[in-house]
Each structure stands twice: as structure tokens, then as C-alpha cells.
Amino acid sequence: MASCGICTADEALDQQIERFWRLEETTAATDNNFTQAEKRCETHFIQTTTRDSIGRFVVWLPFKEAPTCLGESKDIAFRRFIALERRLANSPDLKKLYKQFIEEYLQLGHMQEVSLSQIAKPYYFLPHHCIQKPDSSTTKLRVVFDASAKTSTNLSLYDILSTGPTIQDDVFSMLLRFRMPRYVFTTDIEKIYRQELINEEDQQFQLIWWRSSSNDALKCFKLQTVTYGTTSASYLATKCLQALAQDNKKRFPLGSTALLRSFYVDDVLTGSDKIAELMTTPSEWQTILQQGSFKLRKWCANHASILKGILLEDRETELDFSSNVDEHIKTVGLTWMPKSDQLCVKTSWIEKVRATKRSAYSDIAHLFDPLGIKAPVSVVAKIFLQKLWELKLDWDATLPQEMQTTWLKYRKGLQSLNNIKIDRHIFSHRSPKNIQYHIFADASEKAYGAAVYVRSVNSDNSITVLLLCSKSRVAPSKQTKLAQQATIPRLELCAACLATELLLRLQKDLKIHNEATFLWTDSEIVFA
């Protein structure tokens, strides 16, 4: 992912690293044990959210602190914009894409010019920069609004907004369920964050500076929709989807239930073993979501019948199931080949002659692997990261020669991951009559992990065994007190605990209770 403008590179890298480690958690992302702050956020949404004349949701920003605590932000955003403008002047192609993005915002009514003299304090200016997405089939560049920019009181809009409770399942749960049904499809909601209006009184906390040319007068605009980059954006958008699903439970029970379980932010992954049942879902979803002015696009499926009635312009790709060409589709961090119905790993690395702590961390952050398909490879990166952290190097310092050689060799070897393909359907498009779950736990002095395999006896008496998911952990650093207690027997126990946590996740996410389940270890200590 490339960046431009005044990108807070360290913050972006921190977020990527955080996501990398967060994926290794085995506890469920959602539960009903909301904190008092989260309960207040839920109540605030219910009491303040309305719908306009065409059905669009109108929401209020869920402040956890009074916005009067915000200080001066106008000048900070102005300086950031001038610096951005200089950088765009040196890249005409980038400037063109940036300008197109902002002009679309205006044309769609998602932002409006305002006179700052008519806006009473407090208000907040959002600095902005861009992220390039060359692999995207739709948006090649996205402008990101920086709600975390501090004001003169050292507080930002991001600081004083509530995050809201987590009300969607996490990516691990979504992908687990995606591997179970025989027939599946994917889609997403177009511009999900910009389909909900912000109440007019709160729009003054979403001001930006903009002009198309440095020869023009600088103008002030207010963003009128939920803004990507604010603390509460994900919660507000997701809550509106849930409200639509709840409103349509009686009229469209199948579609509304699938809607509640099948979304990860704006991405959809769902399926069924009965193709006739799955074929009714797209039309129901479109009817439900149109009520809130949401549009589904980038449809893709592993069977041509599912896409009947979907316009070509709304499909991810023009799949020809009669040809030998298999398209690659990005879906929630994985690459899916819908025709062969396989998951594959795609890595694209730029050759580097010099490795730094920053570049190594950035490389590691891109090893996005929610299901742990490439865990034997990514755990090597985790161990390297741990050693790198112990050196306490500056971010841009060149790594010691031995570590640099090791890392560059590792990076080059990642290219071989492009040859890995596994069946998306855990039963390889067969009908299982007997299913067993086998969870293996093991440890070494450097790391420990657990892996889940599914063994199925199929209706034709064939046997299929496939990896469903795995998780790994590095052993405590030798520089910590905890490492003194991290004996091999203790790490074997940690691996067994990890295997048990994975089993609990499977029981929750896949509703497995009656199937035979086996937990395996080669450690006598664990048995004892």
C-alpha cells in the first residue's frame, strides 16, 4: 500500500502491526458484556438516530467528552494542507486522482462549502492525506481524514468520540464460516461510511480546507456524512446496517438473519449448502439495503446461478465458468479463486538492498493471515521481530549485517508462498456424513502453536482431511523475567491452552457440539 501527502507513517505502521498481532487473539470479538460507556453509546444511537425523506440514516456523533474541550485546529489543518499541496504539485497524476476524489465528494452531496464566519465555536478541522490502492478494482485512491490531529489543548476529535461497542463478528469468525458451506458469494457496500448523514449540528466538527489549484482562494468545507478515520465511524455504519436488518426480520427473515451474521465492516461473505436458498439472498439484501440508500456491488460467487440477475457493472469480475482462466478476488485479507474455489496466498515484494527496523516491521505487518494458513512462515517473522525489538534500534537505522542478510533472504523466500493453494470448502465440495475435528498443540523453546484439521468421511466413502485454521505465539523474550519461567513443559502447557481456546472459538462460531473432537499433544506433562 502506497501513501502520499502528509501521511503519518509511524501511526499507519503502528496500526498495521497492531492488526497483525490482534489477529492472533483467540477470544471472540463480540459479546454482550458491554461497559457502561458502550451502553451509553448504544442508548445515544437509539435515542438520536432518525431517517430522512428517502430513508437515509441521520446520526449524531457520540461524544464521550464535551466538544468544548477542543482547542484551535484551523491553523494546524491549514499548514498540513499547504504541505500536502506542495507534494501534490510534484506529482500531477496523484493530484488528478486526489482532485477527482474530492470533486466526487462534492457532486454526491457528501460535503458542502461553508463560511467559517458563520460557524460558532467549538469546531474542528480535519487535516487530510491519501492512500493509494493500486490493487482495488474500484477506488485507486482514497482520501483519509485525520481525526487524530491534536488541537492546541492536546485533544483531538478522535480522543473525545466514543468507539462504541464491537457489534460485528471479527474477521477470524467470518472466514471460518466462509469455509463451511458448499456454495458462497461475496459482495460489499459501496461507500458504506458515506451513506449515513451526520446531523447538521455536528457537521462543524468535520471541517476541511480545500482548493483545486494553488491559484484559487482557499475554501472551507464541511463533511456531511460519517467520515472514515473518526473513532465512531465503524460503529455508526454497522449499527445502521443492524437497524435495517432488525426492521426487516418479519418481512425478509432469511435475508435479515444473513445480514446480521455475514458482514465484516462493508464486506460480505456468506453461503449455503443449498444453492436455491442462497439464490434468494441477493434480491432480499438489495431490497433491505435500498431502504437505507445502501448499494451492493462487486458481487462474486463460486457458481454462475447465484449471480443471475446481478448487473455486469455490479460484479467484481466477468466470470466465465466455461473458460480455463481463474480470476483472483481479494476478500477480507485472503485471495480467493472463485472458479476453482481455492484460497491462495499472494505476496508482492519490492526488492530491497537495505533493511531497516521500519522496513522490516512494515513487511511483517503485511503478512495478513487471519486463518493462520501460512503460520509456519509468519511465526519466523514474529521471532525475528522479537529479536529486532531487543536491539532497541532507531526506526531508520540499518540492521546489523547478519540480521539484514537473514531478513532479506526471508523476504525473497516469501515469493514461494504464491504457489500455495488450498480448498476454500473444507469438505472439498463433497457431502460429509461424518465429521471430526482434530486440534494439535506443540511447542519449542522459541514458539508454540495449535492447528485445527477437519477430517470428513463423505457420502461416497472418500476421506478428506484439510487444515481449517491455526494460531501461533512466540515464547517470551529472554530479556524478560517471564522468560525465566518459560520452560519447554510450561510452553507445552501454553500450546495446550491455545488449542483449547481454539476449540471454544469453533464451538461458538461454527456451532459444533455433537461432532467428535480430539485434542492432540506429545507432551506427557500436559497429560499429567
Which domain CATH number covers 506?
A: 3.10.20.370
The Cα 120–Cα 200 span in angstroms is: 13
The Cα 239–Cα 245 span in angstroms is: 10
Are 164 and 38 in contact by the 8 Å Cβ rule? The answer is yes
413 and 432 together in one domain: no
221 and 92 together in one domain: yes
88 and 160 together in one domain: yes
- Given 420, 440, 473, which residue is the final one in a domain? 420
At 456 the pLDDT is: 96
22 and 156 together in one domain: yes
Place of cell 464460516: 177
At 134 the pLDDT is: 65
From the list 94, 176, 153, the residue with the least C-alpha distance to 129 is 94
Count of beta carbons in the 10 Å neighbourhood of residue 427: 19
**Is 409 contained in some domain?**
yes
Q: What is the pLDDT along the chain (528 residues), one digit of tens a residue?
A: 344 443 444 555 555 555 555 545 666 655 568 899 999 999 999 999 999 999 999 999 999 999 999 999 999 999 999 999 999 999 999 999 999 999 999 999 999 999 999 899 999 999 999 988 766 656 678 899 999 999 999 999 999 999 999 988 888 999 999 999 999 999 999 999 999 999 999 999 999 999 999 999 999 999 999 998 899 999 999 999 999 999 999 999 888 888 888 888 888 899 999 998 888 888 888 899 999 999 999 999 999 888 888 888 999 887 766 666 678 888 777 889 999 999 987 776 666 667 888 888 888 777 778 899 888 998 999 899 888 888 888 888 889 999 999 998 888 888 888 888 899 999 999 999 999 999 999 999 999 999 999 999 999 999 999 999 999 999 887 655 555 567 889 999 999 999 999 999 999 999 888 899 999 999 998 988
At 513 the pLDDT is: 80
**Is 270 contained in some domain?**
no
- Given 390, 420, 450, which residue is the final one in a domain? 420
pTM for the structure as a whole: 0.84
User: Per DSSP, which regions of 249-288 are E strands?
Assistant: 263-264, 267-272
Which residues, in sequence order, are bridge partners of residue 50?
58
395 and 519 together in one domain: no
At 136 the pLDDT is: 62
364 and 494 together in one domain: no
66 and 121 together in one domain: yes
Query: How many domains does the chain divide into?
Result: 3
Find the domain containing 369 and state its range. Answer: 357-420
Are 341 and 377 in contact by the 8 Å Cβ rule? The answer is no
Beta-strand pair 141-145/219-223: unpaired
Place of cell 540492521: 399
Altogether, the residues listed in the chain come to a count of 528
